[in-house]
Amino acid sequence: MVLSNGQQCVVGVEALADAGATRVGAVLEGQRLERFLHAAAVTALVDKALGALARGRRTRRELELRLRRLQPDARLVAEALDRLEASGVLSDAEVAHAEAASRLRRGDAPARVRQTLRRKGVDSRSTEAAITHAMAEDGFDEIAACRGQAEKRWRSLSALEPAVARRRLVAFLQRRGFGGHVIRSVLGELERG
């Protein structure tokens, strides 16, 4: 719909009917115009969010931050995100599960996955459920994952002095989220064999 000032608005049929703008030349004033512009702003935000979701997984918090750069009104952003959640397009639990499974398969430790999901804005209950489910689904073994990461990295550090190589390997594994007891166990295996 195009307003008399040239502004183009995209809204659903319900918003048109609510504003009384279902016929050509309808006059929108006062509260009707405000409701119509509100609906148009929310629809524009939903479209922007859908574009972001089409390019990759996003949590509600990530979309909120992105949309707040475009629209400072937090209520409009929340309404757009609520609409996406209600339609099933936006789900933090699904993003958390997919992200946890992907990161665990790549060799990250559960602690690193937990940290990543929290940074993305996933609540702790959904984070724990996603990690637990992904670990059970793939039969994740933290020592085996640590060993795999350590063996790859150890080969690239072989030209260094042993103490330096060991220190760098420990730092690398810690950044991947592995705990001290797991790292010590794997280092012992690498140094023996």
Q: What is the pLDDT of residues 120-175, one digit of tens each?
A: 999 999 999 999 999 999 889 999 999 999 999 988 888 899 889 899 999 999 99
Boundaries of domain holding 131: 92-138
Distance from chain centroid for Cα 53: 10
pLDDT of residue 188: 85
Q: Residue 5: inside a domain, yes or no?
A: no
Give the closest residue to 102 by CA, choosing from 151, 57, 169: 57
What is the full DSSP assignment across 126-168? Answer: HHHHHHHHHHHHHT--HHHHHHHHHHHHHHHTTTS-HHHHHHH
CA gap 63, 65 in Å, rounded? 5
Same domain, 114 and 168: no
pLDDT of residue 43: 86
Give the N- to C-terminal CA distance of the chain in Å, as an integer.
Answer: 72
Q: Residue 57: inside a domain, yes or no?
A: yes
Q: By the 8 A CB rule, do 10 and 47 touch?
A: yes
Same domain, 101 and 167: no
Q: Residue 7: inside a domain, yes or no?
A: no
CA gap 44, 39 in Å, rounded? 9
Q: Interhelix angle for 142-156 vs 162-175, to 10°? A: 140
pLDDT of residue 162: 86
pLDDT of residue 107: 87
CA Rg value for the chain: 25
pLDDT of residue 32: 67
Same domain, 133 and 149: no
Q: Residue 153: inside a domain, yes or no?
A: yes
In 3-state terms, what secondary structure has residue 8? strand
How wide is the angle at C-alpha 74 spanned by C-alphas 68 and 76, nearest 5°? 95
User: Percentages helix, strand, coil for the chain, rounded to the nearest 5?
Assistant: 75, 0, 25
What CA dihedral angle connects 27, 33, 36 and 37, to 10 degrees?
Answer: 130
pLDDT of residue 2: 44
Same domain, 80 and 22: yes
Spans of the chain, pLDDT less than 70? 1-33, 36, 193
Number of domains in the chain: 3
Same domain, 148 and 134: no
